[in-house]
Chain A
Amino acid sequence: MQLAGRILTRLGVFAISLVGASVLIFVITHALPGDVAQTLLGDQATPEAVAQLRAELGLDRPLVVQYLDWFGHVLTGDFGVSHLSGDAVVSLLLPRLAVTMWLVGFSMIGSLLLAIPAGMLAALKRRSWQGIVVSATAQLGMAIPVFWGGILAVMVFAVWLRWLPANGYVPLTQNPGSWAAHLVMPVVTLSVVQAAVLIRYVRAAFVEVLNEDYYRTARSVGWTPMRALLRHGLRNASISLVTVLGLQVSSVLVGAIVVESVFNLPGLGSLLLTAVSQRDLLVVQGTVMFLVLAVLVISAVVDFSYLLIDPRQRAAREAR
């Protein structure tokens, strides 16, 4: 019963966040200078022609009416139709969603695979040169903008070494080998940049573990420092890391938008950038709504993952 109440509260927060985000998205997209009618008709169009097209597209109605019309349809899963191509926004989003999901998913995994060992090493060796080198490298990594790192990777691995394709994308179903080859550089770029941010948190979480009594107990029964950390530290540290990871998801999505445009990947990010530059408002709104939804879903998952990690939270929840 308590769990049901808990889920209901969570769903309520979810709904309010979604409505809030939709208003914000709508207002911001409509505050953008320029409009799609102008883009469609070109620079030579007469003001009358532009005004007529705006009326046809429904852009001359009051904003509140436009918003309610749009959001009402969104709730039924209808994100509208692109003013430019005439395609349904959903049909534009879905194939691109796969690309972004691969990129973001692999990058999250990659950044954890980099950040956890590096952060543990930085924590264990925090008083010797190895720890300082790891921390300094992470600081340096944080200072590197994603796009610069991506371009550097293209220069080295695609242009000089010719190991990997410089850009583009091949669907998994078409050619798995080529799919992987096209994803390697974007994923590595995004992973490295995210890992640089994460390492600090991982280090801090494990330094905390090193000062815990149960770590000392683990050492006193015969675990070496590294194995004591893996055996008894990882789960405890992940309680605080999961929070950070949940917050990082949105920054990974932002990073993905940049990486997609550097590597010319047909994902949500590049769709969004194109739509913004063409003032294709319904596509912009649809894409951003989708991203907001993704972030909200992931934070809900994070919230419930505490229950899996920490038995004390389970008990607290059962007691409530």
Chain B
Amino acid sequence: MSLLDVCDLSVTFGRRHRPALDGVCFSLDAGCRLGVIGESGSGKTVTALAVMGLLPEYARVSGKVELAGHQITHLSEAGLARLRGDVVTMVFQEPMTALDPTMRVGRQVAEVLRLHAGTESGPARAAVINMLGEVGLEDPERVADAYPHQLSGGQRQRVSLAMALINAPDLVICDEPTTALDVTVQATVLAKLNDVLDASGAACLFISHDLAVVSQVCDQVAVMLDGRIVETGSVAELFARPQHPYTQGLVATARLDQTIPGQRLPVVEDFYRPGVSR
């Protein structure tokens, strides 16, 4: 049985007629990594929030989301809260605002540990410092005592990563975790993410608009467009034989090294125009 099973998931917000998600199906086995790729508004984040059970209350959800044997759509708030941070965790896009500005980051990480494992504060601190070191932060003791505003974007995102990994979750959802970082920091954070995922054996749902980034972390990719998954496959397959015109566009833009010098760079619209091929 897979760790995560999403079947015919549809989500509509408020009184809008057009669904944000329209019959999304995918599954993820324990320890595997699935990249979800698509442009903004294609439903990537909504999918992630649906798996977390964090959709706003005015969202209408139908279909099945089964995580580690739990039906997410049927769980109570308290039941969901027990899973979140323990079985499934999430790293968000904006490291600058994702942490509480008024609390030292070490405490914020320790809190996650104590909330689920009930660890005492002494051992919790040791575990936090250890975890902060593992996600590649130098001088973890000092970082633990810092407030978020005293850290750089890359450091904060590593702290978020530490928060997401400290309870050894079965599934880590990363929602564009490196988009807000500059390119050099992006590369080191991605490398570290790979390391810690390898070490912990956690599965990962990695959301991005950038195929090049996804290919560094994931083995499988699902391409989303207008609330649907239009194509799935292994990263290698997708690069070699993209089927959907939108995917072809994505692959071309991710392979800028293959463009002949002097020629115009490819854009997705060369391959796929919204409303034409549907």
Contacts and interface: CB of A to CB of B under 8 A. Distances in A.
B85 A220 contact: yes
Nearest to A124: B57
A224 B94 CA distance: 22
Interface string B73-108: 000011001111110011010100111111100000
B99 A214 contact: yes
B13 interface: no
A224 B77 contact: yes
B90 A220 contact: yes
A221 B100 contact: no
Contacts of B86: 222
Of listed A218, A220, A231, A312, residue having the most chain B CB within 10 A = A220
A145 interface: no
B147 interface: yes
Given A225-B77, A310-B102, A311-B149, A216 B82 contact: no
A217 interface: yes
A222 B98 contact: no
A220 B102 contact: no
A223 B160 CA distance: 16
Interface stretch (B111-119, B181-189, B262-270): B111-119
A54 interface: no
Contacts of B98: 213-214, 216-217
B102 A217 contact: no
A232 B112 contact: no
A303 interface: no
A309 interface: yes
B68 to A, nearest CB: 15
B72 interface: no
A83 interface: no
A1 interface: no
Given A309-B102, A311-B101, A311-B102, A221 B94 contact: no
Interface string A276-315: 0000000000000000000000000000000001111001
A29 interface: no
A30 interface: no
A214 B81 contact: no
A239 B100 CA distance: 13
Given A213-B92, A214-B101, A312-B101, A221 B112 contact: yes
Contacts of B54: 216, 219-220
A212 B99 CA distance: 10
Interface residues of B, number: 32
Given A213-B97, A221-B89, A235-B102, A312 B147 contact: yes
Contacts of B115: 221-223
A127 B92 CA distance: 26
Interface in A227-248: 231-232, 235-236, 239
B27 interface: no
Contacts of A222: 81-86, 112, 115-116
- Secondary structure dominating the interface of A: helix
A48 B270 CA distance: 103
A219 B84 contact: yes
A25 to B, nearest CB: 40
B140 to A, nearest CB: 19
Contacts of B112: 221-222
A216 B89 CA distance: 12
Contacts of B103: 232, 235
Interface string B120-154: 00000000000000000000000000010110000
A236 B163 contact: no
Nearest to B166: A221
A236 B150 CA distance: 17
A199 B82 CA distance: 31
A235 B103 CA distance: 9
Given A127-B57, A213-B94, A221 B77 contact: no
Contacts of B160: 217
A311 B85 CA distance: 26
A192 B174 CA distance: 46
A310 B147 CA distance: 10
Given A224-B77, A315-B149, A236 B85 contact: no
Contacts of B58: 127
Contacts of B85: 220-222
Give the one of A218, A222, A235 with max B CB within 10 A. A222
Nearest to B78: A224
A221 B111 contact: yes
Nearest to A309: B102
B154 to A, nearest CB: 17
A220 B101 contact: no
Nearest to B163: A221
For the complex of A and B, the 5 pairs showing the least CB-CB separation, nearest first, are: A222-B85, A221-B85, A213-B97, A311-B147, A220-B90
Given A221-B89, A222-B83, 7 more contacts: A222-B82, A222-B115, A223-B81, A225-B77, A310-B101, A310-B102, A311-B102
19 contacts: A214-B98, A214-B99, A214-B100, A216-B98, A217-B92, A218-B100, A220-B84, A220-B90, A221-B163, A222-B81, A222-B84, A222-B112, A224-B78, A224-B81, A236-B100, A239-B102, A311-B101, A311-B147, A312-B147
